[in-house]
Amino acid sequence: MADAVKDKVKVSGAPDGSAPPVVLDPNREPIVVVDDLHIIYRVFGAGGKGNAASAFMRVLRRENRPTMKEVHAIRGMSFVAYKGDAIGVIGTNGSGKSTLLKAIAGLLPPQSGGVYTEGQPSLLGVNAALMNDLTGERNIVLGCLAMGMAPDEVKTKYDEIVKFAGLREGFIQLPMRAYSSGMGSRLRFAIAASKSHDVLLIDEALATGDAKFRRKSAAKINELRDEAGAVFLVAHQLDSIREMCNRVLWVDEGRLIMDDDPDTVVDAYTEANGK
Amino acid sequence: MNGNPPLAEFATRHGLKQSAARPPIGAYIRQLWQRRHFIWAFASAKNISMYTESRLGQVWQVLTPLLNAGVYYLIFGLLLNTSRNLPHNTFIPFLVTGVFVFTFTQRSVNSGAKSVGDNLSLIRALHFPRASLPLAYTIIELQQLLVSMGVLFVIVLAFGEPLTWRWLLLVPVLLMQLVFNVGISLALARIGAFNRDISQLLPFILRTWLYFSGIIYSLSALKKSPRLHEHPWIGHVLEANPGYIFPELMRYCLLDTYRGYVRTKLHEPTTHLWAYGAGWAVVMFVVGFWFFYRAEERYGRG
């Protein structure tokens, strides 16, 4: 069976056949299976001449709107993650790392192929649910409810979140648009990290703020990782990848280049990018 | 579609499930129910943040319907001095009731169509039943309507309408309309999510609907006109329009003069509209919910 998988992956992977074969480990329990995944999403409002006459001609010629672009972000990816894995995902900007996480979380539907998971993987982050016009207080409640907590749970977590964010006195009653960018990201991280998850997906640059808060949030991420069944971590800090992960995926142009232990992959990656 | 049977098979053998799969309808409704606090909090938050930029803030919630009513009074009451064959002093309350109630449906349709597209970043970041969004937007409109209703009561009483037990019937009318609006906004949420151009087209469709719905004229009175009397089926079709049913039912509850006029002067029945309204609410809700649910896993693609 492994041979069949290998053949298939080679066909669907990078054109030069560099995609690593999927090795199935019968002794460990899989928690995420990604099977020849393709993701295409649409972006509106990109470029295009903005005048009515040209738009009308396009309709007559039955052309697609140039302001709508389809992005083929993941082009055939397969791998298996097991319970207890902490998997780093590295790659240059725009290589498809964040899209991969969103696909694992089931937030972007696959064009073809599939993602199979145990439990519901979730992204660490609630930014999209928060509203800048509202006070920090209301945003904590809104963010927690958006992540699926019950109102009682929100009440018990509330003080913890405020304490972790460490905002200056009184700021919690101000609208979030009055916050400095550091304060805003601290509160956002504090809200996001208040919930534990089966499969945790962490995107880079979550742990922002001053040095003290970065240390604090790194410790919090470690804690969440221990609670979760498996963790995916996207980061540009190669040191933290080496330190925190037992396995690393190298992604480039939506394809899997390498899937191995951290030292091997990080070394190869640094070499390829001529650091 | 699946290029790699062995891996998919391996996954199912270990009991893993498609992460972007649509839950069965029962589980979906349960999830939606669990998110009721989020839906309410989201709606209230949007409602608050809508006015934060203005100095008067929430006062605009009352001012907007008041100004709307003022404009109608100015044009139809003072400039045109129209009564459209209605009894003395009934036309303005008749018109304002119709406009306020119709606006609830109109705005639900509009905001429902945008509810998925405007929240794409939220859809791509968090897991929740996507029907929460059109639901929350209908709740926003409901909160706005409740404020308008307060303004409406004052206007209706100011025009000398008596306060009767029939006013209590406005609760079931609003409930039926709410259920209908949720259904229609769910349906439009799916259409709007995949065809953004619909929101450019909607204002025209909705205005046409308004003119067909007997908001600025009385359909009951129109049915007595010689032309419609010849072709009674036209009247029956116009009467089955939900855009007419809910405002008209609300008028029967609040405007005793108008109700008496329709029943005794025009000799028109008023009770069958209740059955129509309930029918529309149930059918629209079931169809809209089912239609929206069928695309649940695809909303993230945009």
List per-residue pLDDT tens for chain A, 275 residues long: 344 433 333 333 344 456 777 878 778 888 889 988 999 887 776 555 667 777 777 777 776 666 677 888 899 899 998 888 889 999 888 888 888 988 888 888 888 888 998 878 888 777 778 888 888 889 999 999 988 889 999 999 999 899 988 888 788 888 888 888 888 888 888 888 888 777 888 876 555 667 787 788 778 877 877 777 888 888 777 887 887 788 999 999 889 998 888 899 999 998 888 75
For residue B141, what pLDDT is reported?
A: 93
| B18 falls within a domain | no
Residues A163, A190: Cα–Cα separation, whole Å: 9
CA B46 to chain A, closest CA, distance in angstroms equals 8
Superfamily grouping for domain A2-124+197-272: P-loop containing nucleotide triphosphate hydrolases (3.40.50.300)
- For residue B21, the one-letter residue type is A
Residues A122, A249: Cα–Cα separation, whole Å: 19
Query: Is the pLDDT score of B3 beyond 70?
Result: no
CA B299 to chain A, closest CA, distance in angstroms equals 8
What sign has the CA pseudo-torsion B290, B296, B301, B302? positive
Contact A108 B20 (CB under 8 A): yes
Contact A5 B6 (CB under 8 A): yes
| B7 falls within a domain | no
Residues B42, B36: Cα–Cα separation, whole Å: 10
- Over residues B215-225, the mean pLDDT reads 83
Query: Is the pLDDT score of B2 beyond 80?
Result: no
For residue B79, what pLDDT is reported?
A: 83
Rg (alpha carbons) of chain A, rounded to whole number: 21
- Crossing angle of helices A136-146 and A151-165, in 10° steps, is 130
Report the half-sphere exposure of B241 (CA within 13 A, side-chain side).
Answer: 22
In sequence order, the β-bridge partners of residue A117 are A32, B17
For residue B168, what pLDDT is reported?
A: 94
Query: Is the pLDDT score of B245 beyond 60?
Result: yes
> Of the candidates B50, B171, B151, B45, which has an alpha carbon nearest to the alpha carbon of residue B107?
B50
Contact B281, B183 (CB under 8 A): yes
| B9 falls within a domain | no
Rounding to the nearest 10 degrees, give the CA dihedral for residues B130, B135, B140, B142. Answer: 180
Residues A203, B166: Cα–Cα separation, whole Å: 58
Q: Which residue of B has its CA nearest to A152?
A: B37
H/E element holding A74?
Answer: strand A68-82
For residue A12, what pLDDT is reported?
A: 37
CA B100 to chain A, closest CA, distance in angstroms equals 28
Which residues have C-beta within 8 Å of that of residue B127, sequence separation ≥ 6? A105, A106, A107, A120, A122, A148
CA B157 to chain centre: 25
Which carries the bigger pLDDT value, residue B87 or residue B164? Answer: B164
Contact B300 A102 (CB under 8 A): yes
Q: Write out the two tokens for B66.
A: 């008041």
**pLDDT tens per residue across span B51-82:** 777 777 777 877 888 888 888 888 877 787 76
pLDDT band at B12 (very low <50, low <70, confident <90, very high): confident
- Over residues B117-138, the mean pLDDT reads 90
| B19 falls within a domain | no
| B5 falls within a domain | no
Give me the residue from B3, B196, B300 closest to A112, CB to CB.
Answer: B3
Query: Is the pLDDT score of B203 beyond 80?
Result: yes
Extract long-range pairs of A46-50: CB within 8 Å, 24+ residues apart. none
Q: What is the mean pLDDT of chain B?
A: 88
Give me the residue from B16, B122, B301 closest to A42, CB to CB.
Answer: B301
pLDDT band at B230 (very low <50, low <70, confident <90, very high): confident
> Of the candidates B289, B290, B8, B11, which has an alpha carbon nearest to the alpha carbon of residue A30?
B11
Contact B16 A78 (CB under 8 A): no
Give the position of tokens 């304002």.
Answer: B96
Contact A114 B38 (CB under 8 A): no
| B15 falls within a domain | no
CA A145 to chain B, closest CA, distance in angstroms equals 5
Contact A204, A104 (CB under 8 A): no
Residue B39 structural domain: 26-301
**pLDDT tens per residue across span B17-49:** 888 788 899 999 999 999 999 999 999 998 888
Task: Count the domains in chain B.
Answer: 1
